[in-house]
Amino acid sequence: MPGIADIFKRARAHGIAIPAFNIPYLPMMTPVTRAVADQDAFALIETARLEWLKFESRGPAAVAQEFANCADRDHLRLHLDHVPVIDEDGRRVDFLPIIEEAIDLGYESVMIDGSRLPLAENIHITKQVIELAHIAEVPVEAELGAVLGHESSVLPPYEELFASGQGFTDVDDARHFVQSSGCDWLSVAVGNIHGAIAAGRKDEKKVEARLDVERIRELSTATQVPLVLHGGSGIQQAYVLDALKNGIVKINVGTEIRQAYEQAKRAGGSVVEVQQAVYDRTTWLLKDFYQISGKCGKLFK
């Protein structure tokens, strides 16, 4: 059975999306994993530090146990999402123990997010994580640029952000970053934004984001590694499909399925009804939006 690094190489060659589904509430695990298997697609299940601090995922161990109970490696693998060096509230994070724990728990890839650091420090810390993870043959995702949205402050209008290119990943910096750090995958900022997580804003509808596809193409050529799109929910489909032809491989999905869960629960739905809402939304994403139903086999040959 191929490792996750080989699967990513094949996905990049075929232009196939690998969605990575965030699980802020543990009951979401069963419907998401079932939808992926039923659609014969391939995806990652992931958890980020903010999801056990600001939601109810309880931490890497709880997510890993829930994953082990219902997922199969023919369609799914487990990824540690955003472990920031400086978090969305501006606090310094003791990141290495979190990453060590995830590797010990069997996470097959991990992310270190040094994007709020100066370039040189981001490179230095990413190399630290790579030295640790590669001993266990675990690929490392890093981030360069500012994918906004998780901050407690209100963002400027989206069109203003896009037009200014604020926070977009610089091509020359990305080339230097990948060559110097040795990261396996790179999360980039190219018009994508995170869904709001601040109190009172979690229910906000995400803006229909666009992507600078030419910038994606340049970043892919410069770095020669699979690129990652955080804040994947809400991006216009045409841009996503175009991005997949130009270097994006992994697409993080949080808001789309989280809000389906929260809205169904708030409406008084039973556990079965709430999980069905998540299953239906995940199925739609796999089949209609990313168009990867039945494509799992291409990643394993």
Q: How far apart are the first and last CA of the chain?
A: 10
Measured CA to CA, the distance from residue 285 to residue 76 in angstroms comes to 16
Please tell me which residue in 40, 72, 74, 81 is annotated as part of the active site.
81
Measured CA to CA, the distance from residue 216 to residue 147 in angstroms comes to 14
Contacts of 292 (CB under 8 A, 6+ apart): 16, 17, 19, 39, 41, 42, 286
Q: Where are the beta strands (DSSP E) in 119-277?
A: 140-144, 185-188, 227-229, 248-253
Specify the DSSP class assigned to residue 201: T
Residue 16, helix vs strand vs coil: coil
> Is 81 an annotated catalytic residue?
yes
- For every residue of 186-237, DSSP letters joined together read EEE-SS--PPP-STTTTTPPPP-----HHHHHHHHHHH-S-EEESS-TT--H
Active site amino acids:
81
